[in-house]
Structure 1
Amino acid sequence: MNRIKNQRGFTLIEMLIVMLIITVLIAIAIPNVAKQTSAVDEKGCKAFVQMVQGQVESYRMDNKKVPAMTDLVAGGYLKTGETSCPNGDTIDISTEGVVSSRAS
């Protein structure tokens, strides 16, 4: 019985201070993560546009004409779901074969 009385633990105030510190750290970290998500989407779209440009050039070498997006999918150059950027922007192919993205 004497052993139980001598054991010490954290007080309520100490626990509240630890919770306050953790809350402040989370409040600082979450906005930074949200900002990075949009930057990742932009970079992902630029990389996707470059990949589609490569596929357009490959199609042009194989078929001697500039493809539309449907031609790339039908020819197996792109998968069916790969017709827009990860952030939702639309991919356009000009008549000269230049690939660009625009906000949808």
Structure 2
Amino acid sequence: MRKARKNQKGFTLVELMVVVVIIGILTAIAVPVYNNVTENAANAAHDANIKIIQGAVEMYRAATNALPTKVDDLVPSYIAEWPTVPAGASGDRTEADYLNAGGILETALTKE
């Protein structure tokens, strides 16, 4: 048999495998949590964009006593640029359309 070396340095295969398993478990927990957080952030950013557009529409309506009929009515006078849908926003959130439905401003999210 081999003689045991004194002052051996390094890790055994079992120790390395335990570390790999622990890293795998932590990754399995962290990745779904991270994905959920990024999706929620994208949805919150999208909702904030909608509120900005609604505010611009309200300012336009206060100034002209009418609702805008196209994006050019709002850009650049009431809003610097038309916001885009953040990457990672879920569902049918692709484009915001504003309709004058009987004098009521409503938001419809449509698919591109």
The 2-side partners of 1:69 and 1:97 are apart by 18
TM-score (norm 2): 0.70
The 1-side partners of 2:41 and 2:61 are apart by 30
TM-score (norm 1): 0.74
Q: Which runs of 5+ in 2 are unaligned?
A: none
The 4+ residue runs of structure 1 with deviation greater than 3 A are none
> Aligned in 2, Cα 1:72/1:33: closer, same or farther, shift over 3 Å?
same
- Tell me how large the CA RMSD over aligned residues is: 2.4
In structure 2, the partner of 1:66 is 67
In structure 2, the partner of 1:102 is 109
In structure 1, the partner of 2:77 is 75
Q: Which runs of 5+ in 1 are unaligned?
A: none
Larger strand proportion, structure 1 or 2?
2
Length, aligned pairs only = 99
The 2-side partners of 1:38 and 1:32 are apart by 10
Identify the structure with bigger relative contact order (alpha carbons < 8 Å, sequence gap 6+): 1
